[in-house]
Amino acid sequence: MPAEPIDDGAPRLLTGWGRTAPTAAHLVPGLSTDRVVSVAHGAPSRGVLARGLGRSYGDAAQNAGGTVLDMVAGATPAPRVDETGLLRAAAGTSLDTVMRSCVPSGWFVPVTPGTRHVTLGGALAADIHGKNHHVDGSFGRHVVEATIVTGGGDVRRVAPTDDPADDAELFWATAGGLGLTGAVTAVTLRMLPVETSRMLVDTDRLDDLDALLGAMADSDAHHRYSVAWIDLMATGKHLGRSVLTAGDHAPLAALPTGTGDPLAFDPAVRVGAPPWVPSGLLNRLTIRAFNEFWFRKAPRRRRDELQTIGAFFHPLDGVRDWNRLYGRRGFVQHQTIVPFGHEATLRRVVERLSEAGAPSFLAVLKRFGPASPGPLSFPTPGWTLALDIPTGHPGLAELLDELDRVVVGVGGRIYLAKDSRVDPSLVPLMYPRLGELADVRRRIDPDGIWRSDLGHRLGLDDVRPTPLGDTHDREATS
Amino acid sequence: MKDAFGDVQRVLVLGGTSEIAQAIVRRLVARRTRHVVLACRQPADAGGFADELRLAGVTVDVVPFDADDIAAHPAVIDDAVARLGELDLALLAVGVLGSQEAFDADPAAAAAAFHTNATAGVSAGLVIADRLRRQGHGTLVVLSSVAGERVRKANFVYGASKAGLDAFAQGLADSLVGSGANVLVVRPGFVATRMTAGMKAAPFSTTADAVAEAVVSGLGRGATTVWAPGILRWVFTVMRHLPRPVWRRVPG
């Protein structure tokens, strides 16, 4: 097949969802597997990277000076679930498209994050998790097969099986590998059957952190989905006050008669953020006021409330481009895990954020279940805390460094798909199996053409083997 | 790479013995910077500073660099970029102050100083901008001076050279918009350093570390211009519009 001419136009500035640290790259439509192969085959200088809908908060989907494949361009419009519950779709297909196409016929995605606007390929590359991690694990657990274009443009079909032909090692390095093993071009996903498009939701307002931690452990045992919103700006005896929501897919019998189509699914965007917002709009005062309102409006205790999928899983999708509300300087999303058994450390992290007055709204706390086999997959058993903070908050860089050291000290880690600022020297401590990614990359991409700004910033994209005696030589000569 | 807070990892300093440059580098290595190339006229003069950085665990290369040898700029800068692997931040800190009285008596020396401060900066700035544009990211920090904001009779050769460099840097910054690369112009007032030793301090005088703090803060918020101290921005908003007969008589 003759290689198509590559659209190598003027560089485009790209950022993550947090709108920090823009870099320029050549954006090329990843229209098909063949097209991705021809781009990879050309081994562009400064490498290539697949990008989906740009919902990674930091620089995971940027490749400065190199080529970025716009995978959304090649998405199929309306994938269908087959009779065995499998969905096969182009990697650029969004979960929004999947849900709009499949929920009306009674199939839900096995894992959804807080937004529907992520692609299947991105979901695998970040090995995303949802409110059901304690029951169902991460996204990669539900992928039965994927097609990946690796170094030099080789097309590989991979699957998480024991068959050597399926290359499970490459599959799991890709699940959470942040695009550094190549471009995922197609995904086969095992879907979840549902009777209705509604959720049965329990809500509890908790007055402090101890009450929350106890209630969450109990809630997880009884519900498929569970997450708590926590007010990190509350102090003193209100420290850790929160709203816990837990839910399950509503069975048909739970819907009142006359509801109409039980599988109707048509979430709407209610408002859009204005194109320009002053950087200081979201500050300590406005966020404190918002948090107070959010806490007060929640019922103290409510059981079996019917909610739509959109309202339960994706409330922020109702506000288009909500990331603009943080203004020109953008924001940082920070998500950590504190392993079970280290609740005192979790308390210390919450206390530190509270006393620093870091303006954080919509911070969420969730319990993770067992980990995936992927060496870079984020979720491991423990408490995960995620928060958004405007980048301009004074002392924030140092505060997050301090929290990272505390969390690493008890065997915790941060979510690299959301990172835009971690100290690179902490990453091997957070991800002790980092070397396995490098091993896979040496095997399938010896020239290291699959690169990203995040990989470069954190030293993940180096495929050169460490020379023997390197450490010794350095000590001898320095 | 630059992170969300503007902290950088790999830094090239042209004029590695500049006290302001060294103060900036000290603040950068306290954050994420782990590899620094110090390019200077007399590499031996940067040895002490290089050792200080190495003790902090930073990889340091000291390379010879004669700013006046414009033909050699591309080779020196390419070599530095190769050592760093990537150029996250370049700091242009080459400059000579000189004395206006000496310049009045020796026009050739005045032209040479102008060449070092302005012409060499144009060449090095364009070479660096080309590398940054091709890598799709990176920041060039240009040490200008309030002396270039409005030139005074007391140091008009120096002031004119900084005025030229400053105007060049602003135009370069505009030409780089959209490329991922950017330029930060730094306008310090009177800074107490070796360069100004023995001179009477001007109003709003400052220190190298205070300038460095302002620069690092400016990098964090993506500023295009930094005044140090910040009040000089407002002082010069007035000074810029004084009638010439009044401006001539402003003491200092």
Q: Which residues of A47-65 are buried (b: 16+ CB within 10 A; e: fewer)?
A: bbbbbbbbbbbbbbbbbbb
Average pLDDT, chain A: 91
- Summarize pLDDT for A311-346 with one digit per residue, the tens: 999 988 888 888 888 888 899 999 999 999 999 999
Residues in chain B, total: 252
Residue B73 above 90 pLDDT?
yes
Instruction: Please determine, for residue A2, whether its predicted confidence score (pLDDT) is greater than 60.
Output: no
Identify the weakest region by mean pLDDT among A29-43, A116-130, A417-431, B2-16. Answer: A29-43
Mean pLDDT, residues A114-121 taken together: 96
Q: Which of residues 3-22 of A touch B (CB under 8 A)?
A: 10-11, 13, 18, 20-22
CA distance A152 to A446: 9
Instruction: Provide, as residue numbers in chain B, all residues whose Cβ is less than 8 Å from the Cβ of A22.
Output: 137, 180
Q: Indicate whether A271 pLDDT > 60.
A: yes
Burial of A304 (0-12, 13-18, 19+ CB in 10 A): exposed
For the residues of A87-120, what is the DSSP string, one character each?
A: EEEETT-BHHHHHHHHGGGTEE-S---S-S--BH
**Chain A contact for B61 (CB, 8 A cutoff):** no
Query: Which ranges constitute the DSSP H helices of A276-342?
Result: 284-297, 309-313
Percent of chain B clearing pLDDT 90 (strictly above): 93
Strand-pairing partners, residue A271, are A319
Please list the active-site residues of B.
158
Distance CA A207, CA A444 (A): 52
The dihedral built from the CA positions of residue A111, A112, A113 and A119, taken in this order, carries a sign that is: positive
Which of B4, B31, B137 is opposite residue A420, by nearest beta carbon? B4
Q: Which residue of B has its CA nearest to A47?
A: B135
How many beta-carbon pairs below 8 A join chains A and B? 77
Structure tokens at A199: 């959720």
Is A24 within 8 Å of chain B by CB? yes
pLDDT given for residue A3 in this prediction: 43
pTM of full prediction above 0.80? yes
Which whole number is the average pLDDT over A213-242? 93
Give how far Cα A408 sits from Cα of A178, A385, A387, A423, A424, Å.
Answer: 21, 14, 18, 12, 13
Nearest residue in chain A measured CA to CA from B1: A457
Q: For residue A25, give how far its alpha carbon lies from the nearest alpha carbon of chain B (Å).
A: 6
What's the confidence (pLDDT) of residue B196? 86
Contact between chains at A421 and B180 (C-beta distance less than 8 A)? no
- What are B227's strand-pairing partners? B187
Q: Is the dihedral of CA A150, A151, A154, A160 positive or negative?
A: negative
Do the Cβ atoms of A193 and A107 come closer than 8 Å? Answer: yes
Q: Quick one: pLDDT at residue A7?
A: 57
Give the best residue of A23, A26, A453 to mutate against chain B (max B CB count within 10 A): A23
Closest Cα in chain B, distance from residue A261 (Å): 46
Summarize the confidence of residues B139-150 as an average pLDDT: 97
In the predicted structure, residue A394 carries a pLDDT above the cut 50 = yes
Residue B243: pLDDT band (50, 70, 90) is very high
pLDDT at A467 > cutoff 70: no
Residue of A68, A329, A398, A470 to mutate for B, most B C-beta atoms under 10 A: A329
Q: Give Cα separations from B197 to B97, B190, B193, B215 (angstroms).
A: 11, 11, 6, 23
**Residues of A numbered 187-216 whose beta carbons fall under 8 angstroms of chain B's beta carbons: which are they?**
none
| A77-115: pLDDT as tens digits | 778 999 999 999 999 999 999 999 999 999 999 999 999
Pick the more confident residue, A217 or A270: A217
Do the Cβ atoms of A159 and A55 come closer than 8 Å? no
Average pLDDT of the residues in B50-70: 98
Residues of B in contact with A24 (CB under 8 A): 136-137, 178-181
Cβ of residue A397 closer than 8 Å to a chain B Cβ: yes
Q: Taking CB atoms and an 8 Å limit, are B4 and A58 in contact across chains?
A: yes
N- to C-terminal Cα distance for chain B? Answer: 42
pLDDT confidence of A4, banded at 50, 70, 90? Answer: very low
